[in-house]
C-alpha cells in the first residue's frame, strides 16, 4: 500500500503524483491540509524520518511563524501540535511505501526505491 501525503497545489507533490501515475503504481493521496494529520501518524513520522527532515524550515510558512511558535518545534510534543495546527510546514511530499517512509521527491531516488 502506497500513501502519498501532501498538499495538491504544491509543485513537488504534483511531480510526485505524476511520477507515481506514470509508473502505473496505485496509491492513495492524503491532503493533510484538508484531511489533517493525527498525532499518532506524526509521531511515527518523527520516529522514522526525524523531526529535522520533517519540518520545512525554508518555506514561507515557517518564516512567518513567531519565535515562540518556532520554539515549539524543539520538542516532539510541541512539534506535533505545531504540525497539526500548521500542516504547511511539513516537508512535502511524505511517502509511505508499505511502511517505508521518505520525504521529498527525486525521480532517480524513487526509481531505485520502486525498482522501476
What string of pLDDT tens digits covers the 116 residues of the chain?
Answer: 999 999 999 999 999 999 999 999 999 999 999 999 999 999 999 999 999 999 999 999 999 999 999 999 999 999 999 999 999 999 999 999 999 999 999 999 898 888 76
Cα angle, residue 20 at apex, residues 16 and 22 outer, rounded to 5°: 115
Class of domain 2-114: alpha beta
pLDDT of residue 96: 95
The domain locations on the chain are 2-114
Q: Which residues carry out catalysis? A: 10
Residues 102, 116: Cα–Cα separation, whole Å: 17
What is residue 114's predicted lDDT score, i.e. its pLDDT?
Answer: 80
Amino acid at each position: 500500500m502506497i500513501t502519498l501525503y501532501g498538499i495538491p497545489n504544491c509543485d513537488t507533490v504534483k511531480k510526485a503524483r505524476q511520477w507515481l501515475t506514470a509508473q502505473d503504481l496505485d496509491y492513495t493521496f492524503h491532503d493533510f491540509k484538508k484531511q489533517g494529520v493525527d498525532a499518532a501518524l506524526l509521531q511515527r513520522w518523527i520516529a522514522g524520518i526525524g523531526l529535522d527532515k520533517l519540518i520545512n524550515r525554508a518555506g514561507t510558512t515557517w518564516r512567518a511563524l513567531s519565535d515562540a511558535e518556532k520554539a515549539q518545534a524543539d520538542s516532539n510534543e510541541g512539534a506535533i501540535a505545531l504540525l497539526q495546527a500548521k500542516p504547511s510546514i511539513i516537508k512535502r511530499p511524505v511517502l509511505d511505501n508499505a511502511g517505508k517512509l521518505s520525504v521529498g521527491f527525486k525521480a532517480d531516488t524513487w526509481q531505485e526505491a520502486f525498482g522501476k
